[in-house]
Copies of this chain bind each other. A is one copy, B any other.
Amino acid sequence: MSNQAQKTALVVSAHSADFVWRAGGAIAAHVKQGWKVKIICLSYGERGESAKLWRKPNMTLEQVKLVREREARAAAEILGGDIEFWDIRDYPMRIDEATLFRLVETYRQLQPEFVLSHSERDPYNFDHPLAMRAAQEARIIAQAEGHNPGETIIGAPSVYAFEPHQTEQCHWEPNTFLDISDVWDLKRQAIECMEGQEHLWDYYTRVALQRGVQAKRNIGITAKRAIQYAEGYMKLTPIVVHHL
């Protein structure tokens, strides 16, 4: 298979661990199916999502970032994704034009089939919806022929919101369940790279089991397919089909 034919996907993660809990299964599953998956970590979550590290003595911002990068890199390697760290700061995150346009270029070079990012609303975390917003605005600009004319524009990659921490308050409603039973071991390994957030390991294992039960229910109890672990996604863009 030539390189052009390889399908690609993009993950836009506000903080460097988000992609693991929320989309680790999708990354591993698509990589296993021959896809190239690129992960952009907009920040390290160094201020807002590294509480355990900050409780260690003599910790500095640089130190926290180093540990966070090491953990995320290890997780990405296990999942098979290509990871980049853009280090634009968190809590609060702000997206300037340079970051927006860099995201546009990423779309154009990658030409992804779909993009995964955060829910559009999250009262517990303002960085998350901002990352999704940037992912969507960059996608629209990457479709525009007048932006850097001459470059290859993108088509209309599907946009999915992965699962936030407290789904109901985020008005996030899963309309797509991805069966990740085959790659669960990889996801759990990746999860265990996040040493600074050990309290979340079992939480997201339970999330995967619950979504597995729900996925099973949504194909009907008469279906023979076994599903043990799943990830929920909220697809935001319409699908175009030849049969329903």
How many chain copies?
A: 6
* Chain B contacts for A35, CB-based, 8 A: 243
A66 at interface, CB cutoff 8 A = no
| Interface 1/0 per residue, A199-241 and B, CB below 8 Å | 1001100110110011101111111000100100101111111
Q: Do A156 and B91 touch across chains, with their CB atoms under 8 A apart? A: no
For chain A, give the interface size range.
35 or more
Q: Do A243 and B29 touch across chains, with their CB atoms under 8 A apart? A: yes
Q: Which of B26, B141, B172 interacts with A168 by CB under 8 Å?
A: B172
Q: How far is the CB of A222 from chain B (nearest CB, A)?
A: 4
Q: List 20 A-B contacts (CB under 8 A).
A: A9-B244, A30-B244, A48-B144, A54-B145, A55-B145, A59-B149, A61-B146, A91-B147, A124-B140, A126-B136, A154-B222, A155-B220, A156-B218, A156-B219, A166-B214, A168-B174, A175-B239, A178-B242, A179-B241, A218-B239
Ranked 6 nearest A-B pairs via Cβ = A155-B220, A47-B146, A156-B220, A54-B145, A168-B173, A48-B144
